[in-house]
Structure formats: C-alpha cells, structure tokens
Structure 1
Amino acid sequence: MKFVQPIRDPVKLNEIKEYLKEQNPKNYILFLIGISTGYRISDILRLKVKDVKETHITIRQKKTGKVKMVLICKSLRRELDLYISNMSDADYLFPSRNRNGRKPSPITRNIAYKIIRNAAAEFGLKDVGTHSMRKTFGFKIYLKMKDIALLMDHFNHDEEKVTLRYIGLFQETQDDALEDFEL
C-alpha cells in the first residue's frame, strides 16, 4: 500500500473542491465530509441521510469499534442540506448505481479512491488517496489549533510524533526546530 499525503496547499484544496462540485454533487460531498470530519473512508461510505441531519456526525468506527462524534461545521451544513433535500432518511449518502433491483448499497472504497485520485491528478497532486482526506483534516486542524493532543485522541494515536508524521508535519517540525539552531 502506498503512503499518501495530506493536501497541504489551500489553493489546490479549493480547486479540488470546485472541480468535484462541478463534476458530481455526490463526489463533492464525499470530499467535504472527508476533509471536515477526519473519518476513515470505510466509515464515511456507511453514512445515511439520517446520520447527517443533526449537529454532529456520530459513528462507530469500523476499524476500532470506538464511537466518534464530530461537529458539522456551518459550511458543511449548508452543502449537506442542499445535497440531502430530496433524499429519505434511510438513503445512503453515497449510493452506488442500483443494478437489477439489488438492495441499495454505498459506493465501494475502490470507487471512492478513483474519485479522489482522479481529482487530485487533475491538479498535479501525487500521493493522494482517500486517506488523504483524513490526513488533510488533521493537517488543517493542527495548523489552526496547534493542539496535538486533540488530534492524537481523534486519530487514536499514542505518541505525538506518530500524529505529526501522519499529518505530514514531523519532518517539517524537526526542520523548523533546527533552522535557527547554533552551536
């Protein structure tokens, strides 16, 4: 499995959002939820309309079994309300195409990966996949709050350096510490 990076450049991040918004509302909302919650793609794909109607999105993580809750920010709330306006509570947020009357299901992780990967490629970004959304969330929160403990809890990490490396800041933090160092 290839190691993916967060999307650090705010201009590229906005370009990807606009690209996905023009391309397909479902893809756009998928990306917004990913970069706004820090949830894993396996948890995002299982979301239904009823899960995003309140002030928070609460999930039981598929990987860890832990319950996590994230506030829906105002900008995400506006976009979600538009997106779900004609959907029922039981609908998946990211439905796959229903073929031959099969039971409704969400898109697959592979489809989500292709959506994100193709959007990133449009803007010359490499080392981007679905996990980049989670890492981008962490990167943005760290830059805003500088609270590594908050992110460690959110990501279930035991060490600061693991979280810093995860969001792509470990090397940068080391470099900053040594930049003006003198003997």
Structure 2
Amino acid sequence: MKKIALVPITHQNAKQIALKFPFDQELKSIVKKLTHVRWSQTHRTFYVANTPDVKKEITKLFTSNSIIIDDQTDKILHNHLPEDKKIELQRFKKWLIQKRLSSNTVNTYTEVTHYFLKYCELKNNHDYSPRLIEAFNFDFIVSKNKSISYQNQCINGIKKYLSYKGIEVESLQISRPQKEKKLPTVLSLEEIQQVFSVIHNMKHKTLMALIYSAGLRISEALRLKVKNIDSKRMLIHIEGAKGKKDRYTLLSPVFLVLLRKYYKVYQPKNYLFENKEGKMYSASSAQKILKTAINKAGINKRVTLHTLRHSFATHLLENGTDLRYIQELLGHNSPKTTMIYTHVSNNKLSNIKNPIDEMDF
C-alpha cells in the first residue's frame, strides 16, 4: 500500500507541510489534486500550508485513494513515551488478550491508549480525569475531523485502560457522541454484473463473487478454509465471526461452479484464498481488486468491499426474503441492524406515485 509522510517545514517564513514519498507517478498525480499544492525547488518536495482545513483535505483525498498517511506534524503522535509507560502498555495489551477480545479489538484499544498516554505526557497530566479525557477527545479527534466511530473506539479503549488501572469508570461519566445514521451504498444487480464482467483473473473474480453471494465481511471471506465449504448441504460455515459467533450462510450453485474451477487451478492448501507464500490473502489486495473493477466498469459510487455485503442483503430483501433470515445470514445481533436495508430497498419506494407524474410538461 502506498504511503505519504506529512513533515513540518518552514518555507518562505511560514509553517508548511512537506509531502514526502518515493517517486511514484500515480501518487504524484493524486498529490497534484490538492488545492494550492506547490513544488519547492529549495526543499525538493511538494508542500501545502499547515492549516486545519488543508489537513482535512489531505486526509479526505488520501484515505479515499487508500494511501497511508504518516502524519509527522502531529505532536501527540510523535511525542516521546517513557519506557515505564511502554512496559505498562504491553501489560495492558496482555490483559486485553487474557479477556479473550478479538485481535482487532486488542490492537485498536492498545493503539488509542498509546495515543492517550502520549497526550498525558505532552500535557504533563496523569490524573485521568474527565476533563483530561475531554481535552484529548477534542485535540486528537474532533479538531482533526476523525469519524464518530473512531471517537467511540477511543472512548472504549480509554475505558478499558482505566478499568485495567482499577479506576472506577462509570463515575467518570464519559459521554459518547451519537452515531451517524448514514444509509449504506448499494449496487444494483446490473452494476454487480458489470463489476464481475471486467474482472478476468479467476482468483479475483471468485473472491469478489464469494463476498457478494454469501454476504460476507472481508475478514470472514479471507479466513475461510476449504473445509468450511459444505457442498452437500449447500452452506458455508463461518467460524469465529464478529462477536466470536459461528453461523451458516448460503452457498450458491452458480458460485459453486466458479469455485470448483478456481480450486482446480489454484489448489489452495489451507485458506481458500492464499497469497504466493501460501498465507492468508490480504484485505488491502482485495480492496484494490474491487477499486480497479469499479473504475473499469465506470460506476460512479463510493464502493468498498462491504458494499458487496450491503448489496447482497438489499437484493435478498427485494426478492422477498424475510428480514429474520437475512439477519441470520449476515450474523447481526439485533434485527435493528438489519432493518437499515428496508431504507435502501427499491421495492416500496418504486410503488409510490410521485405527484409530479400528474403534471404535463
């Protein structure tokens, strides 16, 4: 995955951000899309003004193009953490592992706690009061326009750390922001067909077809093993999914034909989809496959791998499948989560007669 470092510099007597990256024509063309970006002959680098608005633009542009941002202008990220705090952080991580939390949750909580401890060092404040946490919340999350879901992850991580320290968490009354109620992006059946038609690599097409036809999260698809395919019962066994739950989902007869062709050619040994070293295929590679296909198909929607799962659920609903079955297939804990697909389903909306249809233009 491509990476750009944001390095603070002083140029023409003003604070600027240098955009440092190894020469790459694609990266160069993306950087040039930034408003007011300039080239410094002195520093031999592209640069922009070091302002909050510019940093928001950088974050939006680079993340939408799957570029990793190494923000060296952030004092919190690059503040020094004393050795004793590093040791304590490792102990906290082991404590989280012993709680049998998922590896993703452990890594996320450890990372956000790392940032919080750096912030405490920066402010020379270790009382872990609600005011300190609120200040961290504003300086590290709100002012940098990070997502509400990330903000909630930070609060969860800090709460876990305080619990590990034996500090009464509930008495701190740390409030959470309300989650955004955004509707998922959904592709039509025709658009799904367009995407598959432009993918010619058999492994790539099989992986994308699996995610869509079974409504899988990308992590679930990549962890699948050959033994999880039950062709006799026409089911796929998902083991240890989100919330450490097992479930079954659909194995499409059409997809099974494609899967068998794929298996004969690639003959995976352990995971259903493996890289050249025989290890689990990466999520970033899968995302790149879909992004390339979306561009080739000329689809002007913001599409991720999760869009295929959303599309699967919406198409089931439009075909008359009961919401309770869709909930089971997707592995949702609550029917409220599945209900969101009623808002993007075309069935009900298409039956509403628009009053403008009675007018003569």
Pair in the same fold by TM > 0.5: yes
Per the alignment, residue 158 of structure 1 pairs with 334
Is the aligned partner of 1:6 residue 2:175?
no
TM-score by length of 1: 0.78
Distance (Å, rounded) in 2 between the aligned partners of 1:34 and 1:172: 19
* 1:1-183 pair list within 5 angstroms: 5-7=185-187, 9-20=188-199, 22=200, 24-52=201-229, 54=231, 55-88=234-267, 90-98=269-277, 104-122=278-296, 123-155=298-330, 156-160=332-336, 162-165=337-340, 167=341, 169-170=342-343, 176=349, 179=352
Tell me the percent identity: 21
Aligned Cα root-mean-square deviation (Å): 3.0
CA drift at 1:159: 3.6
The Cα of 1:158 is off from its aligned counterpart by 2.0
Offset of 1:75 from its aligned partner? 0.3
Q: Deviations over 1:125-149 (max 9, x none)?
A: 3221111111111011111124122
Checking the alignment, whether the CA contact within 8 Å between 2:235 and 2:249 is kept in structure 1 is: yes
The Cα of 1:72 is off from its aligned counterpart by 1.4
- Secondary structure at the aligned position of 2:248 is classed as strand
**Structure having the larger proportion of residues in strand:** 2
Asked if structure 1 preserves the Cα contact closer than 8 Å seen for 2:268 and 2:274, the reply is no
1:53 CA drift (Å): 5.4
Greater C-alpha Rg: 2
Higher relative contact order by CA 8 Å / sep ≥ 6: 1 or 2?
1
Q: Deviations over 1:90-109 (max 9, x none)?
A: 342221122xxxxx212211
Q: TM-score, normalised by structure 2?
A: 0.42
Which letter does structure 1 place at the counterpart of 2:290?
A: I
- The verdict on how the C-alpha distance between 1:159 and 1:178 changes in structure 2, with shifts beyond 3 A counting, is farther
Moved more, 83-92 or 133-142: 83-92
Output the CA distance in 2 between the equivalents of 1:27 and 1:177: 34
Gaps (5+ residues) in structure 1?
99-103
Q: Which amino acid aligns with 1:116?
A: L
